[in-house]
Structure 1
Amino acid sequence: MTEASHASGSLRRGAAALLAAVVATVLTACSSGSGGDDVTIGHGQNGDPVTLEFPVFYVKRPVPQPDENGNIEENDARLPIRFEIGADLYMRDQASPSSPEINLTSAETEGLGDIRDVDVNYDGTKVIFSMRAQFIEDADEEDQPTWNIWEYDTKLKELRRIITSDTTAEEGHDIMPHYLPDGRIVFTSTRQRQSRAILLDENKPQFAAQVEAGEEQPAFTLHVMDADGANINQITFNQSHDLDPAVMNDGRILYTHWEQALAGSQMDLYAVNPDGSDRQLLYGAHSHSTGTVDPTTNQPSVIQFLQARAMADNRTLSLVRPFEGTQEGGDLVLIDTANYVDNTRGSTPANAGLTGPAQTRALPTDVRTIPGPSPGGRYRSASPLFDGTNRLLVSWSQCRLLEEGRIVPCTSARLERFQNNDPLIEDAPPLYGIYIYDVRDNTQKPIVAPQEGFIYTEVVAGSARALPPVILNRTAGVDYPADLLAEGVGILHIRSVYDMDGTIAVPGVPGGLAAVSNPGNAAYANRPARFLRLEKVVSQPDEDTRDVPNTAFGASGRRFGMREILGYAPIEPDGSVKVKVPANVAFAVSVLDANGRRLGGALGARHSNWMQVMPGETLECNGCHNPAATPPATPTVHGRKGLTNSANPGAASTGATFPGTNPALAAFDAGETMATARSRAMCGPTQACFPSVDIAFDDYWQPTFDPMTTPGKISMCYSTSTNVPSNPADPTQRHTCEGEPLATTLPTALQCTTNWNSLCRTTINYERHIHPLWGVDRFVDADEDGVPDVDGAGVVINHKCNSCHSLADAAAAAMVPAGQLDLSDGPSDDEADHFKSYRELLFNDTELELVGGALVERLVQTGIDPVTNLPILEPVTVNPSMSAGGARASTRFFSALGTPTHQDFMSPSELRLLSEWLDIGAQYYNDPFAAPED
């Protein structure tokens, strides 16, 4: 929080009424005459009161004070850490306007704290919430109290903090608690308990990783703890926020997932088991353009899915609003998440014909999700009543306008004046009260009448409700092999990378899957997908831990982030993969060709969502998907189980040999993929192989496989041996790498080349791992007789890169670098934080020429100056040799290495290093602690 925010927070003390000097009229309710509201609203406490025989709990806070410019700071949905002092938790013994209001937290807050995120346990006797203790005047953000989770027991009338230890409680911000049916608590937190432990294992400082993009702030991820605050366990590993957890009727946790990987920024609905397993998309990846039509664009506005709660009828209630711009209010929608994955797309093949809409307004009011007044008012929060009536408790504000210093209702005439930019009409601040909405008679009745200068929100009922089923944590040795827990891994199984949303697509190969999976077919040798790369995002520290400059990210920029490579696995001939992957980390995958380069087209599209597995979990998916779609069609969604049937039929029958293949790799069950069959034969009791830091393959699928003479061997290795199994008859036998190992510094630990473990990382930094390649001696021995070749003068021929790609020859005389590419040492004149070779490879440059023995920019005439009548001369642009878009996009560089003048200049291991570095983004650094501090 900035000092300005502290000052603003200080002004809020005392709950001064907003615009008190100009408010002449206080409106406590509205009806159908107030500009498009079709719900009948009770007027005041005596107009149409409601009494429910159970308590209600809610938060009451002062309206934030305007700053010196008259503006009120609005909370962005992406910024969950805020401190708006003056809030407290209140209870009414009955849900009635006449029931007295009891402040439950004033003894702790003394008017200087903040409250949010209220939930009640299943028997209605306890209420849990987040509280930030008293604001400390003039203190920096790091010295302010953190958000903690508290509980009030209505029977004992006791208030307690769940985590009793001050040290443990202050390890992070804990918000949005929700009771699980077994009594434990799910919440979201910046403490990132398991992620910090992995950072320590990686020999990095422990820190709260920042969100992927946007304003610097720690990421909130889901955690589960016991009722007494013990056994805190992180269950999601998003690189941005996971928010608003709640329990679905089937016992799973429903939550809002902020997706920022690669491009875009949106909040979708996800589901996960309480132990972190079976995390998957629930709804909304392509349903965000469903808000109010924006009159300036004539297109639906973009909304986000927040505060989702399960209804008794299995629909999902969600507050929808933009990230900001609507005074923190929005509309309420009911979503058929059981049958839909998007607003117009069914969730299974059986309901693929459903066209929706899946989203329907929970209340038939003219609520708008665009900035400006909303005729039907706006909702701040809502919760189901769970009494069999589908009634809702809502925090709602009517539509109000400010007309010549007077707050007035939103009549049609006034709204038209506002739309016509009448300077005498302004949008007034909201006035949130608490109501109960009854679907049976379409009425909205007040429980807590709105009061000028205050906001009432986050109301929940203290009534008993049915317990959802308890989903037990998986147990090592019972639910999965104990070895997987000890190894710190789960398993990824892709049935076929050629499966594009239920349809097999093998680019450029006639005959499709049957052809590429049978060694007897000519297409087998040309199968496009050969390896799977596992990539891990590199968490970024806060500025106090390490202030990383933007230049450290290089050509891809900070938005793309830094990447590490976890390892590689072979893609079997039918496109299937089964491989162990590190647990408790966010990872993505890339499909590679036989040269270890990411494929083009849909098959090689960057994976735009982070995946995760818990220890012992198997994540299984049918295949890949095509992210492109021709408007008005929407892209095919991915990430929810059961969306399509597998297009890879697998083994024809139990015990069947795959057509044309080695009988030692026969299937055990009908429908098995080749990856499953091979893993059973070659990968030990867990029936899944480790990945490798090397790219290596022996063609054990040949029907007459011989480990000594097998064709199809691929070796792109950093060392002389790797831990890839190479013989189905002997699982202990490992691939022996051919060719030269990497002569420069290894980008991974040496032991990882022969004994991969879940902490192995390939981390490529340009200065340490790529730039030294240009200075490696490359002596020529064309005859391969062991004697280096010499030129006509008897000098040993050395094709070292920077001997030709330099600004000076061996005699130190100026020369034009070969191919206009300078790979010599030294910092760049364009960016001092980068070597010149990096800039030359990845950024536009200007062409040089020798004039009088000196190097100058070559200028060409592009026109005539109309004023001076002199020629206009401009430098000639030289396009970069490489692209941060990947190795296949760097054709100028790699095609040169295939010409006779450069043939075999670089070893397979060197080419592999360059390819993988380009594929992951060509960052200057992939370790924030290797980069210089800003």
Structure 2
Amino acid sequence: MHTSTNKAPFPLILVASTLALLWGCESSVETGVVDDLEPDPVVLDIPMAYINRPIPVDEDGVRITDDVLMPQTFMPGAVLYLKDRAASTAAEIDITSQAWPEGALYDVKDVSASYDGERLVFAMRAPEIEDADEEDQPKWNIWEYDIPSATLRRVINDDIQAEVGHDVSPRYLPGVERRIVFASTRQTRSRAVLLDDNKPQFSALDDSRNEESFVLHAMDNDGTNIEQLTYNQSHDFQPTLLPDGRIFYSRWDRMTGNNQLSFYAVDPYGMHQTLEYGYHSQDTGTDDSEAFFVRPQQLPDGRIFGILRNRVSTEYGGDMVAIDYENYISASTPVYNVAGTSGQESVSVLPINTDDSLSANGIFHSSSPLFDGTGRMIVSWSRCRVINPTNNLPASCTEEFLADPTIVPADPLYGIYIYNSAERTQQPVLLPIEGRMLVEPLLLIPRTADNLIPPPVANVDYDATLADEGLGSLHIKSVYDFDGTDSIGIEGIRDPANWATTPPPARFLRLVKAVSIPSDEVLDFPNTAFGRSAANGMREILGYVPIEPDGSVMAKVPADVAFTFDIVSAQGKRIFPRHNNWLQLRPGEQRDCNGCHTRASEMPHGRIAAEAPSANPGAPTSDAPFPNTDPNTLSLVQMGETMAQAYARIVGVRTPSVDLVYDDDWTDPAVQAKQPSFAYSYADLLTGSPTSPGCGTGASPWSAQCRVTIHYVDHIQPLWDLSRPDDPVAPTVDNQCTSCHTNVDAMAAAMVPAAQLDLRAEPSPDQQAHFVGYRELLFNDVEQEIVNGALVDRLVEVVDANGDPVYQRDADGNLILDGNGDPIPVPPVTVPVQASMSTNGAGNSNRFFNVFTNAGATVDHRGFLTDAELKLIAEWIDLGAQYYNNPFAVPVN
């Protein structure tokens, strides 16, 4: 148990004090504790917390970089202090060192206070264990200090439970229970889902597969009832509270080429997750450089502010910037029907650099509003300093120094000040100390609690029946809605009378789940397991549901997993770009989306209240069917309902299936014949199904535990090896793929593989971990030919457009001559063969599919593969054409 008591609690007393400081004064040379700014007598006299830490340096004395995306970084030597008032002469106590042996070097950060100002909560990590491996070192834990009783305790008392993962960035939630939200790598619920998937429990790596992901959790003040709130595959961290009671936090979107740090919001139960601000705002630093917000906090006026700085910094700070998240969704994009040009502004009096360069007006490490009605802040600020080359001592920046490209920055010198931008003053509280950083100052002013959001109950946003099944539901109003614009003519495409000439292109929604990737300590598997590209990680399919004719879709979705979706054709091929953000639903949650957007879109999206109204007009009237739809089945629609809403209300929310199953539920047979039904089923495969038991077999229904896990080795390669007699009774020929697409004939003589495509299930000479067939399908190759009975790369002479030889030339363009004075031909070259498939998806793999579907193709293979087999291949390619989609299925030596 980690509890200790100090017998001198600090009273909350307000008295006058005399500290003041005018902004911008300088000294030319600095040594030791130096600050020459003048005092001013206007500071509230209340308790203050702050951290005193050394400048982090390595064993050679070089400053260690601080990376925003490495929340677990350990910089030992920090101490959390509490002063009885915000004055340099006030009594103070070290409230954290009591937890450790004398002289121990621990770390502490992320200090926050309760609404009543009587408790501090923060992250603290124990000292390093000498000679222990990194995985055996202590984790970051959440600690609390109770000011009235002067008691320090670790919130999670149990040693084993406390060390399950790194816990950082704690904040008190509103309510008498004093629940705490925090970021953690413990991934509590995600670990339980791994057990359901017959995998060991572990904390998954982020999408870049470098570090374990931090995601949001909440727990009671005694460390019990830990609940995972978010399910991003990269970091969800740095939470703060909004006045409406939602949790506002930073999310690292890292999926498939993304690398965005944006602000999201979620309620205290993990529901109603929305993109709030900043997805396209990372070029807002100095000179349009990349910049990241750290330590977001709520301002008294409702805006959010934080320190805008370089991602990787050796100055450890940047500018104080406020964002108007209510009226903007990015720096230059207002929400729908709001005019404006900028969603964020500096709250600093003078310009501050954010790109980690020398900033003439200093730099801010951290700040916190006073919430006293004055608009003031308490800040950690360092003046600009360089090493004076004449005496090798720190000196304040001058124009001459800043203009010198050889000048060397000095260590920052962070002190603590009361900052008043309205009066352009900066009052000293604690003067800086050479070699130390006084950071994360916090005045313990009691303030009104934010709104308390009650637990979800059965209403329009919550379905108790779905919750019991571990499901939520997703409603997209129309996949043809792009940023509020009707991209197809929704009213026309939803009318069955038009389908003979203009059938709906979007037929199914494919639900796709992220596959958690373990660290090397859990499972050390080779990178070749990802196949041609690791950009998409590993993925599984959760199922398909039909998209209604107006482009709307409502589907049951497994809760508590990171998922995305594809819009696919009747053949199961993705027809829109990949959705490049992970979504989540909590049990019972019902989520609405307007439509789609591209990755490059800067229109408001991901937050319905910020977007243009839906482009889908919905039903034109109530108690009547949509035009030309069946009046006997789906007639009692309500005005404004999408087809998916009407179907869900009358029939029920659609349950996914792992098969592509289509029945025309909408056409009025009195108008025209219903569209033909079809089903492309895994049950029709002769090579085995990639489904788990939860996907439904026989009388067993589809469930939240359904997983479709496709491996090239187990599910795609067997298609090429399958015997395919032209007649099952009296075969005359076997259309087995590898009977032609191989390197030897029936007599074991070398042969050129048909279409220069070798599909053998043998280790490739290019990469022993992959079959030849996989490499031939997905990597560019060269033509081969038989020479003297051997299969060799084909070489051809290099000729120009007229067919004449091309000769070698030197750097000046002159011909290179041989000993006889004749020009030397360019050596023969190989003939390239384009890969048949692309990891960009089935729609970019027409060189493969055309031979099975197009009568005009050079080779006519129509009928060689079944519809179910082509569907399996298409969905595997759409997932990213991975060699394996489960790391625990990978052979490990």
Same-fold call, TM cutoff 0.5: yes
Q: Could you tell me which residue of structure 2 aligns to residue 913 of structure 1?
A: 872
**Shift in Å, 1:135:** 2.6
Pair 1:324–1:871, CA change in 2 (3 A): closer
> Which residue matches 1:202?
197
Structure 1 position 674, deviation (Å): 0.5
Q: How far is 1:801 from its partner?
A: 0.5
One-letter amino acid of the structure 2 residue matched with residue 698 of structure 1: D
1:703 corresponds in structure 2 to 668
CA contact (8 A) 2:25 2:36 kept: no
* Offset of residue 875 of structure 1: 1.0
1:336 matches 2:324:
yes
Matched, 1:718 2:654: no
Note closer, same or farther for the CA distance 1:931–1:706 as it changes in structure 2 (3 Å cut). Answer: farther
Q: Does structure 2 retain, via aligned residues, the 8 Å contact 1:250–1:469? A: yes
1:904 pairs, out of 855, 863, 877, with: 863
**1:693 corresponds to which residue?**
658
Partner of 1:619: 591
The residue correspondences of 1:650-799 to structure 2 (distance < 5 A) are: 650-663=618-631, 664-683=633-652, 688-704=653-669, 710-719=674-683, 741-749=684-692, 752-754=695-697, 755-781=701-727, 787-789=729-731, 796-799=732-735
Which residue of 2 is the match for residue 359 of structure 1? 344
Distance 1:649 1:403, change over 3 A: same
Q: CA deviation at 1:439?
A: 2.8
Q: Could you give the per-residue CA deviations for residues 149-184 of structure 1, whole angstroms, max 9, x where no partner exists?
A: 111111111111111111111111111110011111
Partner residue of 1:144 out of 131, 137, 141:
137
Partner-residue secondary structure (3-state), 1:917:
helix
CA-to-partner distance for each residue in 1:214-256, whole Å, 9 max, x for gaps? 6x21110000111111100000011111111111111111111
Aligned pairs for 1:298-697 (under 5 A) are 300-347=288-335, 349-351=336-338, 354-404=339-389, 405-417=392-404, 421-422=405-406, 425-475=407-457, 480-506=462-488, 512-522=489-499, 526-557=503-534, 559-599=535-575, 604-628=576-600, 635-642=602-609, 643-663=611-631, 664-683=633-652, 688-697=653-662
Distance in 2 of aligned mates of 1:889 and 1:438? 58
- Determine if contact 2:525/2:887 at 8 Å carries over to the other structure: yes
Superposed CA offset, 1:251-302 (max 9, x none): 1111111111111312111111000001111111111111111xxxxxx101
SS in 2 for 1:246: strand
1:929 matched to which residue of 2? Answer: 888
What secondary structure, in the 3-state scheme, does the structure 2 residue paired with 1:102 have?
strand
Moved more, 754-763 or 187-196: 754-763
Letter in 2 for 1:835: F
CA contact (8 A) 2:217 2:229 kept: yes
SS of 1:395 mapped into structure 2: strand
* In the alignment, structure 1 residue 71 sits paired with structure 2 residue 62: yes
The one-letter amino acid paired with 2:874 is S
Q: Which amino acid aligns with 1:550?
A: N
In 2 relative to 1, CA 262–705 (structure 1 residues): closer, same or farther, beyond 3 Å?
farther
Which residue of structure 2 lines up, in the alignment, with residue 104 of structure 1? 95
1:825 to partner: Cα distance: 2.2
Other-structure match for 1:180? 173
Q: Aligned partners of 1:145, 1:29: CA distance in 2, in Å?
A: 41
Partner of 2:776: 840
1:478-535 CA-partner distances (Å, limit 9, x unpaired): 97332211210100000000011111002xxxxx222211111145752111111111
Structure 2 match to 1:168: 161
Contact in 2 for aligned 1:334/1:360 (Cα 8 Å)? yes
Unaligned runs of 5+ in 1: 1-27, 37-41, 294-299, 507-511, 630-634, 720-740, 790-795
User: In the alignment, which of 185, 190, 211 is matched to residue 185 of structure 2?
Assistant: 190
Aligned length: 835
Structure 2 SS opposite 1:60: strand
CA distance in 2, matches of 1:587, 1:578: 15
Residue 764 (structure 2) pairs with residue 828 (structure 1): yes
Farther-moved stretch of structure 1 (177-186 vs 548-557): 548-557
Cα displacement string for residues 899-923 of structure 1 (whole angstroms, at most 9, x for unaligned residues)? 5531110001100000000011001
SS at 2:67 equivalent: coil
Contact 1:565–1:763 (8 Å) recurs in 2: yes
In the aligned structure 1, how far is the partner of 2:769 from the partner of 2:845?
23
DSSP 3-state at the match of 2:720:
helix
Alpha-carbon distance in structure 2 between the residues aligned to 1:282 and 1:751: 35
> What amino acid maps onto 1:126 in structure 2?
R
**Distance of aligned partners of 1:823 and 1:82 in 2 relative to their CA distance in 1, 3 Å threshold:** same
Per the TM alignment, residue 871 of structure 1 is displaced from its structure 2 partner at its CA by: 5.0
Given that residues 534 and 588 in structure 1 are in contact (C-alpha distance below 8 angstroms), is that contact kept between their aligned partners in structure 2? yes
Q: Is 1:280 aligned to residue 265 of structure 2?
A: no
Per the TM alignment, residue 430 of structure 1 is displaced from its structure 2 partner at its CA by: 0.6
Q: What's the offset of the Cα at 1:86?
A: 1.4
Distance in 2 of aligned mates of 1:44 and 1:248: 39
Match among 15, 38, 51 for residue 43 of structure 2: 51
Residue 397 and residue 756 in structure 1: after superposition, are their counterparts in 2 closer, same or farther (change >3 A)?
same
Paired residue type of 1:744: T
CA distance change for structure 1 residues 391 and 343 in 2, over 3 Å: closer, same or farther? same
Uncovered stretches (5+) of structure 2, i.e. residues with no partner: 1-19, 29-33, 799-805, 809-815, 819-823
Shift of 1:120: 0.7
Question: Alpha carbons of 1:286 and 1:762: their partners in 2 closer, same or farther (altered >3 Å)?
Answer: same
In structure 2, C-alpha distance between the alignment counterparts of 1:706 and 1:931, rounded to whole Å: 54
Compute the TM-score of the two structures, normalised by the length of structure 2: 0.91
Q: 1:742, 1:460 → 2: CA distance?
A: 64
2 CA distance for matches of 1:435 and 1:209? Answer: 41
The letter of the residue matching 2:538 is: M
Q: Is the contact between residue 436 and residue 447 of structure 1 (CA under 8 Å) also seen in structure 2?
A: yes
Q: 1:64 and 1:326, CA in 2 relative to 1: closer, same or farther beyond 3 A?
A: closer
Counterpart contact for 1:29–1:43, Cα < 8 Å: no
> Would the aligned equivalents of 1:34 and 1:412 in 2 still touch at CA under 8 Å?
no
For 1:391 and 1:90, locate their aligned partners in 2 and report how far apart those are by CA, in whole Å: 22
| Alignment partner of 1:93 is 2:29 | no
- The residue type equivalent to 2:434 in the other structure is E
Cα displacement (A) at 1:750: 5.2
CA distance in 1, matches of 2:501, 2:851: 28
Q: 1:815, CA displacement in angstroms?
A: 1.2
Letter in 1 for 2:331: N
For 1:818, the aligned partner's letter is A
Corresponding residue number in structure 1 for 2:792: 856
Q: 1:35 Cα shift?
A: 12
Opposite residue 862 of structure 2, the aligned amino acid is Q
Q: Whole-Å Cα distance in 1 between the matches of residues 195 and 612 of structure 2?
A: 40
C-alpha change, 1:617 and 1:668, in structure 2 (3 Å) is: same
**1:881 aligned onto 2:839:** no
Contact 2:387 2:409 in 1 (8 A): yes
Q: CA deviation at 1:854?
A: 2.2
Deviation at 1:753, TM superposition (A): 4.2
Instruction: Give the C-alpha shift of residue 716 in structure 1.
Output: 1.3
Q: Distance in 1 between matches of 2:433 and 2:749?
A: 83
Q: Secondary structure at the match of 1:678?
A: helix
* C-alpha distance 870-29 of structure 1, shift in aligned 2 (>3 A): farther
1:621-643 CA distance string (max 9 Å, x none): 110013346xxxxx324211221
Once the two structures are superposed, residues 848-880 of structure 1 have per-residue CA deviations (whole angstroms, 9 ceiling, x without a partner) of: 112233222110112434354255111111111
Contact kept, 8 Å, 1:578 with 1:689, in 2: the verdict is yes
Q: Distance in 2 between matches of 1:189 and 1:124?
A: 25
Cα 1:210–1:628, aligned 2, differ >3 Å: closer, same or farther? closer
